[in-house]
Amino acid sequence: MKILTVLTYYRPHTSGLTIYAERLARAFVKRGHEVTVMTTQYDPSLPREEIMDGVKVIRVPVVARVSKGVIAPTFGFVATRLVKQHDVVQMHLPQFDAPGVALRARLFRKPAVLTYHCDLLLPSGGFNRFVNFVVQFQNNMAGLLADHIVTYTQDYADNSPYLSRYASKLTPILPPVELPDPEPEAVSAFAMANRLEERKPVIGMAARFVTEKGVEVLLDAMPRILEKYPKAQVLFAGQYRHVMGEQKYYDRLIPRILEYQASGHWRFLGNLDPVQMAALYPNLDVLTVPSLNSTEAFGLVQIEAMINGVPSVPSALPGVRQPVLMHGMGKVSEIGNAESLADAILSVLDEPEKYEGDIEAIKKAYDPDSIAQEYEKLFEKLMRK
């Protein structure tokens, strides 16, 4: 099967969406499919074409940026050629160009499947409201033109204004999750490099430093946590400097974070590759995902932590709460409530044995090969139609 995957950002850009797309594309290749990823050349230094883990990546030049999006005038021209050459088209939303791609799939009689990752909610402001409106309009056009829509959980679908419109052509499929097995030497070396023996317990947060992730909720929860565990520290893995569209948010929070850094209660790790993440997780006592709105639909990092035996404390957002509710490894906190977050984290730290789960069953449920098979069944069904 020739599969065309279309999304705005692909590797080396790092986000939950790009990681999902990369894992699924690699799994398709391992199962014998021919996969092409069509994306944008958001960084001019990136090659226009390359092969990554057996996946052909084609990047369309960008002429300008609009908020967190890009303008690529030749996107439609390239999409016309690639859609015609492939058997099925999979698009990752939110994506401005999705309706044009879906229309081409319809014209060429190729099944078009949308994978809907989350709602788009940009920070307040007149221009961002306009961008939100345009992208929501484009997403709705793509939903009308596509043959089917995939989302992570029924919980998120039931609570999403977008997905509730397309219930008749919706299938929940769990996201693909994989990490290298942690090497004991690497885990120990990570602990030594970050002097973790001096600062316990360790609270992990793995995300980009963006408004919707709720970093301020964790900051507000820290006094309560430190009252009971004076040597506790936060390890923040992910991009935290120069995140597109988030400089004001960073500037607002960084003075408080610097105070915690100076006292050894907060450490930024930056972007970590999969091997480094595999060394990080076993050093955590708990992971937290205090996200604030529906731009977060699941939180893949929760499953990465769980398969390393680490419980999670997410907010009660639809979809985001599901890993804990499904697998019992953690406790859900109220959205945006620092007291609730502190209580949940302390509960997990006080009685970790209560939040152990079936790690092998979790690994199997999210194995990329299993997820690729679910997509294959859907593609074949649509192709028969």
DSSP secondary structure, 145-157, as one string: H-SEEEES-HHHH
Beta bridge partners of 313: 288
Contact between 235 and 191 (Cβ < 8 Å): no
Beta strand 55-61 pairing with 34-41: parallel
Residue 151 to residue 140: CA distance in whole angstroms: 15
Beta strand 64-66 pairing with 55-61: unpaired
**Cα dihedral 127, 129, 135, 140 sign:** negative
Beta bridge partners of 4: 36, 89
CA angle 241, 247, 250 (to 5 degrees): 70
Amino acid at 50: E
Tell me whether domains 2-176+367-384 and 184-364 share a fold. Answer: yes
Q: How far is CA 173 from CA 157, 331, 365, 372, in A?
A: 11, 23, 10, 10
How is domain 184-364 classified at the architecture level of CATH?
Answer: 3-Layer(aba) Sandwich (3.40)
* Residue 127, number of CB atoms within 10 A of its CB: 10
Name the CA dihedral angle for 212, 5, 151, 287, rounded to a multiple of 10 degrees: -40
Would you state the pLDDT for residue 127?
Answer: 63
CA angle 320, 247, 286 (to 5 degrees): 35
Distance of CA 92 to the CA centre of its chain: 12
CATH 3.40.50.2000 fits domain 2-176+367-384: yes
Residue 112 to residue 275: CA distance in whole angstroms: 34
Question: Can you say whether residue 88 is alpha, beta or left, with left for phi > 0 and alpha for psi between -120 and 50 degrees?
Answer: beta
For residue 336, the SS3 value is coil
Extended strands (E) in the chain? 2-6, 34-41, 49-52, 55-61, 64-66, 69-71, 88-93, 112-116, 148-151, 170-172, 202-206, 233-237, 266-270, 286-289, 312-314
Per-residue pLDDT of the chain (385 residues; tens, 9 = 90+): 999 999 999 999 888 889 999 999 999 999 999 999 999 999 999 999 999 999 999 999 998 877 667 888 999 999 999 999 999 999 999 888 999 999 999 999 999 999 999 877 655 666 667 766 777 788 889 999 999 999 999 999 999 989 999 999 999 999 999 999 999 999 999 999 888 877 889 999 999 999 999 999 999 999 999 999 999 999 999 999 988 778 999 999 999 999 999 999 999 999 999 999 999 999 999 999 999 998 889 999 999 999 999 999 999 999 999 999 999 999 999 999 999 999 999 999 999 999 999 999 999 999 999 999 999 999 999 999 8
Beta strand 88-93 pairing with 69-71: unpaired
Beta bridge partners of 56: 36, 51
Contact between 329 and 356 (Cβ < 8 Å): yes
Query: What DSSP character marks residue 315?
Result: B
Query: Tokens at residue 300, please?
Result: 């893949």
Residue 214 to residue 293: CA distance in whole angstroms: 9
Question: What would the pLDDT profile of 49-69 be if each residue is shown by its tens digit?
Answer: 999 999 999 999 998 877 667
- For the chain, give every domain's residue range: 2-176+367-384, 184-364
Query: Tokens at residue 92, please?
Result: 């990752």
Residue 283 to residue 336: CA distance in whole angstroms: 26
Residue 343 to residue 174: CA distance in whole angstroms: 29
Would you state the pLDDT for residue 64?
Answer: 87
Contact between 312 and 298 (Cβ < 8 Å): no
Phi, psi angle pair for 134, to nearest 5°: -65, -45
Name the CA dihedral angle for 102, 108, 110, 113, rounded to a multiple of 10 degrees: 0
